[in-house]
Amino acid sequence: MASAGASAQQDLAVEADRVSKVFGGKTEVRALDDVSVAIRRNEFFTLLGPSGCGKTTLLRMIAGFEPPTSGTIRLAGKDITHLPPNKRPVNTVFQNYALFPHMTVGGNIGFGLEELRKSKAEVEAQVDKMLQLVRMESLKARMPSALSGGQQQRVALARALAPHPEVLLLDEPLSALDLKLRKEMQTELKRLQSETGITFIFVTHDQEEALTMSDRVAVMSEGRILQVGSPKDIYINPVNRFVADFIGETNFLSGTVEGSAVRMSWGDVLDVKTGRPAGTKVTLAVRPEQVRVGVAGKDSGAGATVTEAVYFGTDTHLHLALADGTPLVARLQNPPSGDDGLGVGAKVTVRFADGAVKALED
């Protein structure tokens, strides 16, 4: 009988074990700093972070395009740290799609299969299957120059999926698309991952993409992974200020620990457990949609003044100033009339939804 550890190992698609990457030159740059992460089979896993955080470097290491300075990369339990890219059962979809302009859609999709010495019948059958998967059956004979950006991306995905790699790496493939098409392709990518059962590792700096598509997300900064978890876990329970600020919008509030509560800078006491000694200064976070706005003189809560109201169609972001000047943003769903009567200068009260205020690590 296989041990629990061996079973867990078999469920992993990719592991990075204490991986570092240092680029030389006049100034040494540590692109990755002792990174360890385990990515499961049949998982949509996203590496999320700002430019220069190391996410693309890690992706390139998994692909074999960049050797680590130290550490180990494993695929399905096998050490592939020094295996060349063409020997890894991994494919990559790049930001610019890199389609062959002289080949038809069908020719592009079948190229990798031909390189693997598949028979003509096998190539044709798999190309047709991939065209059906990406819903482009009628465009098999079309040239890339005659395709829209979204269609070109689908061809690039079909070409990468055709050999059925164990892992598909996606390096910001949606960044060149307009907003509406990008949202459509987010749904398409998740569908493709679910239908193929292939592990997807997706790199992006767009937190909305990470939240809407991923099974799990790794938030990166300055060559390190700060937090790994489901989109919901990371959004609701960020471990520190960077993660809270990078994933969605957040209000940061200052307070001082008093027993099992925190006294806020404007005087209110909030029931927030921090695990820190009395007198400790702490930073708390609360999402704008968890701020409840009431009518001054009628509803309970801390007094505040509306300093700005930004209309977004579905909702309005109220920028508020608390009694001590602390800024706060509340997100309110708009009424059918579109007029909530809360203009600049309006006096309101604010309170927070139960359990919505989180203490952050230092």
- Residues found in the chain: 362
Q: How far apart are CA 165 and CA 341, in angstroms?
A: 56
Question: What's the average model confidence in pLDDT over 325-343?
Answer: 83
Sign of the Cα torsion 144, 99, 188, 139 reads positive
Question: What's the average model confidence in pLDDT over 71-89?
Answer: 94
Q: What's 361's DSSP letter?
A: P
Q: Which of 51-55, 322-326, 332-336 is the least confident region?
A: 332-336
Q: What percent of the chain has pLDDT over 90?
A: 64
- Can you tell me which residue has the tokens 């693309």? 56
CA 280 to chain centre: 33
Contact between residue 284 and residue 271 where contact means Cβ atoms under 8 Å apart = no
Q: How far apart are CA 346 and CA 79, in angstroms?
A: 63
Starting at the edge strand that comes first in sequence, how are the strands of the sheet with 78-79 ordered? 29-40, 12-23, 70-75, 78-79
Sign of the Cα torsion 91, 97, 103, 105 reads positive
| pLDDT for 174 | 82
Residue 142 tokens read as: 């079309």
Q: How far apart are CA 293 and CA 300, in angstroms?
A: 10
Q: What percent of the chain has pLDDT over 70?
A: 95
User: How does the average pLDDT of the chain come out, rounded?
Assistant: 90
CA proximity to 218, closest of 10, 15, 7, 5: 15
Contact between residue 359 and residue 282 where contact means Cβ atoms under 8 Å apart = yes
Q: How far apart are CA 290 and CA 34, in angstroms?
A: 36
Q: Which of 29-33, 64-68, 185-189, 269-273 is the least confident region?
A: 185-189
- Can you tell me which residue has the tokens 């540590």? 30
pLDDT in tens, 131-161: 988 888 899 999 999 998 888 888 988 898 8
pLDDT in tens, 154-198: 898 889 888 899 999 999 888 877 888 788 888 888 988 998 999
Please report which confidence band the pLDDT of residue 330 belongs to, taking 50, 70 and 90 as the band edges: very high
Is 160 or 225 the better-scoring residue by pLDDT? 225
Q: How far apart are CA 52 and CA 48, in angstroms?
A: 11
Please report which confidence band the pLDDT of residue 1 belongs to, taking 50, 70 and 90 as the band edges: very low
Burial class (CB in 10 A: 0-12, 13-18, 19+), 181: middle
pTM above 0.85, yes or no: yes
Residue 333 tokens read as: 């769903």
Question: What's the average model confidence in pLDDT over 95-100?
Answer: 82
| pLDDT for 338 | 60
Please give the sequence-ordered ranges of beta strands (E in DSSP) within the chain, or none if there are none. 12-23, 29-40, 44-48, 70-75, 78-79, 90-93, 167-171, 199-204, 216-221, 224-229, 251-258, 261-264, 269-270, 281-286, 291-295, 302-311, 315-322, 327-333, 347-352, 358-359
Which residues lie closer than 8 Å to 210 by C-beta, 6 or more apart? 46, 48, 202, 204, 217, 231, 247
CA proximity to 351, closest of 309, 305, 299, 310: 299
Please report which confidence band the pLDDT of residue 242 belongs to, taking 50, 70 and 90 as the band edges: very high
